[in-house]
Amino acid sequence: TPLPQLAKPHPMSVVLFGKVPPRPVDKRKYPRLGRAMKKLDGLVDQISESLGQSSEVFNLQLSEGKNAMVGRDGKLFIGVELLEERPDDDDFWVAVLGHEIGHQPWTWPSGNLAHLSRAQLNQLSREEEAKADAFAGRVLADLGADPDALCTFLLEAEKFEAGRLPAGYYPAPMRAEIIRKAFTARREMTRRVAQSFPEWTQRSRNLR
């Protein structure tokens, strides 16, 4: 599959889909995070396969702060503080990377969106976040991870922010529900496939 062409960010895409990218940091200054970054690289490979894309589309970049985001060019920004806080929380990172990769930035609109109202932009942003949350739920099921880590993180973060929820996001309880529903639906579908085609399922496992 040829790599998708990632266009340069349009200013409205920044407004619609995320904040200004955080400041990158030199990962050589954080040797203690080397093992964790290597693990994240492996997860990016596995999750990219779920989209039928090469992992080369995405590039991990350690950055300042306590957040994660994806850029229009496919760069995955991972905040140093966030990684230091949860270096071994595999379930959490499957969900976080699943969410960011699930944005599929090459599908974002590149035209001028200035004609849209703030309410319309907020709705597009909410739908984009819901799309990424649902993909994260499916990835969690595919990789045998637990959705609780990310759902709890979202709920606690919203509680901490106390009324400062960005207009472009659904409330944390709704986001957690989207993730859990997608996770449950994917796991149930996988179970039914395994029951209906046991030989094919076993062959697929052997190829991993």
Maximum distance among all Cα pairs of the chain, rounded to whole angstroms: 54
H or E stretch at 76: strand 75-79
Could you tell me the pTM of the whole model? 0.84
Q: How much is the pLDDT for 8?
A: 46
* Alpha-carbon distance values, 171 to 25, 162, 164, 194 (Å): 31, 12, 11, 35
Percent of the chain with pLDDT over 70: 80
CA distance 188 to 15: 37
Q: What's the mean pLDDT in 100-105?
A: 90
pLDDT, mean of residues 75-99: 95
Most confident range (mean pLDDT) of 3-17, 119-133, 153-167 is 119-133
Contact 128, 71 (CB under 8 A): no
Q: What's the mean pLDDT when you consider all of the chain?
A: 83
pLDDT tier at 116 (50, 70, 90 boundaries)?
A: confident
Question: Where are the alpha helices (H) located in 79-197, listed in sequence order?
Answer: 80-85, 90-102, 118-142, 148-161, 172-196
What is the bridge-based pairing of β-strands 75-79 and 59-63? Answer: parallel
Q: Which of 133, 125, 143, 131 is nearest to 48 (CA)?
A: 143
Whether residue 182 contacts residue 150, with contact meaning beta carbons closer than 8 Å, is answered with no
Across 173-177, average pLDDT: 95
pLDDT of residue 119: 85
Mean pLDDT of 56-85: 91
pLDDT of residue 133: 96
User: What is the mean predicted confidence (pLDDT) over 179-208?
Assistant: 77
pLDDT of residue 201: 53
**Closest by CA position to 131, among listed 156, 94, 103:** 103
What is the chain's alpha carbon radius of gyration, rounded to the nearest angstrom?
18
Q: Is 73 within 8 Å of 67 (Cβ atoms)? A: no
Higher pLDDT, 97 or 208: 97
Question: What does the pLDDT read at residue 186?
Answer: 96
